[in-house]
Amino acid sequence: MAPPGILNRYLLLMAQEHLEFRLPVSPQYRPLLLAGDDGAEIKSLLSLFGGQFISSQETYGKSPFWILSIPSEDIARNLMKRTVCAKSIFELWGHGKCPEELYSSLKNYPAEKMVPFLHSDSTYKIKIHTFNKTLTQEEKVKRIDALEFLPFEGKVNLKKPQHVFSILEDYGLDPNHIPENPHNIYFGRWIADGQRELIESYSVKKRHFIGNTSMDAGLSFIMANHGKVKKNDIVFDPFVGTGGLLIASAHFGAYVYGTDIDYNTVHGLGKASRKNQKWRGPDENIRANLRQYGLEKYYLDVLVSDASKPSWRKGTYFDAIITDPPYGIRESTRRTGSQKEIPKGIEKCPESHVPVSLSYHLSDMFFDLLNFSAETLVLGGRLVYWLPVYTPEYTEEMVPWHPCLKLISNCEQKLSSHTSRRLITMEKVKEFEVWTDRHPECEKPMEQAQKTAQQTVEYSRANLDSGCKFEEQKILA
């Protein structure tokens, strides 16, 4: 382990999926961000475990190879117990643009850092990882043989080695132009793998209770990581739906709670979302989902409640609010109302009931969400939510803001050529004060969001890989 104050260099091998959630925010936003915590999943996790995102690498672009400085191997291991964006982490012993550069960098790596892993009682194995090229067995053996100058004294054990080393070669991102020689070559000691298998084991396809808008497992874990959810936290989702976001937080040991305006969803009643099933079964509900994954003890409750009229006493209750608000296509944006609230000019239906369902304008919804979060989050607690965006007109000034909440990251997920949704992460940095003064720009994305909603239909259709039926609903707002 590095002596205190000395940062070891590590190599992260990132998964080539959800690239947008790995990248830092745009330079324009950096001054608004918290020092040392200005990015997405890896940065949030490092700040959770007491590390900072420090890197000499100028740009990450879409490369799967990231060089980071981390204070200790323990922090690196903790990071890997949480990340779904990174595949593996290595202690970086050498790096070069060609084999000669790699070898000279390895020769400069302090011998005292290598020896504990190379001594005669140890067993080891060397693996080769190439990105964007496949090597023959002969080429692989050649590369391993070329490392003979390293003081390996242990025995090779291919099945159960104590230490695993890797040569990682980067042939760039263009599958149509694969260079003869790699752009970069790395050598490192493997430390740990990330949590990519969670994406499969928590897949919505195999989940007990699902709806048309159940959040994808990978994104749910990314959101919980952005929210810095940890053991014994209390996490709230005000638009809980089938509780997809609660599951990821409970997996990380947080107690979870949610509300939704839809009685049927909260009680697991009504029409089923799976093909070949008409009605939901007797035990299709959020609690049963948590039970399916052995997480029932983290279930606090879910209630029918309208997010526009939160029924909470004043106070700070939540360590994180993680949510996917409706934007009116696969689920309607609704709120409860009374006859008095129906705007003039709209004829009252004599048969209307009270409470009636009113449209809930998106700008009101995000404004309420930020005010509610600023009031009920603990200091340092995080709000993580999706903001739908009509890309041709989007500017960063349009992201809703609140004086008590600081923007941590703003990552785009493209949905179609004109639409995207942005994963917004904010942190409570000040005691609550009511915020009534809306930024005029904040109204704009909401108008666009209605356009986005319209266009996401196609995307939704293409992405409903969970065997859901697709039921388009009318945009009410």
Residue nearer to ligand SAM on the CB measure, 302 or 411: 302
Q: What is the DSSP letter of 129?
A: E
261 lies in the site for ligand SAM, by CB under 6 A: yes
Neighbours of 24 (CB within 10 A): 19
Secondary structure class of 359 (helix, strand, coil): strand
Secondary structure class of 299 (helix, strand, coil): strand
Residue nearer to ligand SAM on the CB measure, 377 or 477: 477
- For residue 122, the minimal CB distance to ligand SAM (Å) is 47
Q: Tell me the C-alpha distance between 41 and 44, whole Å.
A: 5
174 CB burial (10 A radius; 0-12, 13-18, 19+): exposed
306 lies in the site for ligand SAM, by CB under 6 A: yes
* Listed ranges 67-75, 86-94, 212-220, 374-382: which one lies at the site for ligand SAM (CB under 6 A): 212-220
Tokens of 446: 């909401």
- For residue 322, the minimal CB distance to ligand SAM (Å) is 9
396 CB burial (10 A radius; 0-12, 13-18, 19+): middle
* Listed ranges 103-111, 123-131, 186-194, 210-218: which one lies at the site for ligand SAM (CB under 6 A): 210-218
Residue nearer to ligand SAM on the CB measure, 234 or 286: 286
Q: Which of 83, 132, 249, 265 binds ligand SAM (CB under 6 A)?
A: 265
Residue nearer to ligand SAM on the CB measure, 13 or 453: 453
Q: Which of 47, 78, 83, 333 binds ligand SAM (CB under 6 A)?
A: 333
Q: What is the DSSP letter of 160?
A: S
Which residues neighbour 190 within 8 Å (Cβ) at sequence distance 6 or greater? 88, 89, 90, 127, 163, 164, 165, 166
- For residue 267, the minimal CB distance to ligand SAM (Å) is 12
360 lies in the site for ligand SAM, by CB under 6 A: yes
With tokens 């009511």, the residue in question is 434
334 lies in the site for ligand SAM, by CB under 6 A: yes
Type of residue found at 274: R
Q: Which of 71, 161, 241, 268 binds ligand SAM (CB under 6 A)?
A: 241
Task: Give 359's strand partners.
Answer: 334
Q: Which of 78, 195, 289, 308 binds ligand SAM (CB under 6 A)?
A: 308
Residue nearer to ligand SAM on the CB measure, 2 or 457: 457
Q: Tell me the C-alpha distance between 265 and 100, whole Å.
A: 61
Q: Contact, 267 vs 310, CB < 8 A?
A: no
Count of residues binding ligand SAM (CB under 6 A)?
A: 25
Q: Tell me the C-alpha distance between 287 and 301, whole Å.
A: 8
383 lies in the site for ligand SAM, by CB under 6 A: no
Q: Which of 169, 260, 284, 319 binds ligand SAM (CB under 6 A)?
A: 260
250 CB burial (10 A radius; 0-12, 13-18, 19+): buried
End-to-end CA distance of the chain: 57
Q: Which of 44, 83, 88, 242 binds ligand SAM (CB under 6 A)?
A: 242
Residue nearer to ligand SAM on the CB measure, 38 or 375: 375
335 lies in the site for ligand SAM, by CB under 6 A: yes
* CA distances in angstroms from 127 to 137, 139, 140, 161, listed in the order given: 12, 12, 9, 11
- For residue 321, the minimal CB distance to ligand SAM (Å) is 12
- For residue 328, the minimal CB distance to ligand SAM (Å) is 9
Q: Tell me the C-alpha distance between 353 and 119, whole Å.
A: 79
Sign of the dihedral through C-alpha 218, 223, 226, 228: negative
388 lies in the site for ligand SAM, by CB under 6 A: no
* Listed ranges 75-83, 85-93, 192-200, 257-265: which one lies at the site for ligand SAM (CB under 6 A): 257-265
239 lies in the site for ligand SAM, by CB under 6 A: yes
Residue nearer to ligand SAM on the CB measure, 154 or 355: 355
With tokens 């290598």, the residue in question is 114
Residue nearer to ligand SAM on the CB measure, 236 or 394: 236
284 lies in the site for ligand SAM, by CB under 6 A: no
Which helix (H) or strand (E) segment holds residue 94: the answer is: strand 86-96
244 lies in the site for ligand SAM, by CB under 6 A: yes
Closest-CA residue to 249 (of 204, 202, 306, 310): 202
If you compute the radius of gyration of the chain from its CA atoms, what whole number of angstroms results?
A: 25
373 lies in the site for ligand SAM, by CB under 6 A: no
Q: Which of 126, 167, 198, 245 binds ligand SAM (CB under 6 A)?
A: 245
324 lies in the site for ligand SAM, by CB under 6 A: yes
Site residues (CB under 6 A) for ligand SAM? 211, 213-215, 238-239, 241-242, 244-245, 259-262, 265, 306-308, 324, 326, 331, 333-335, 360
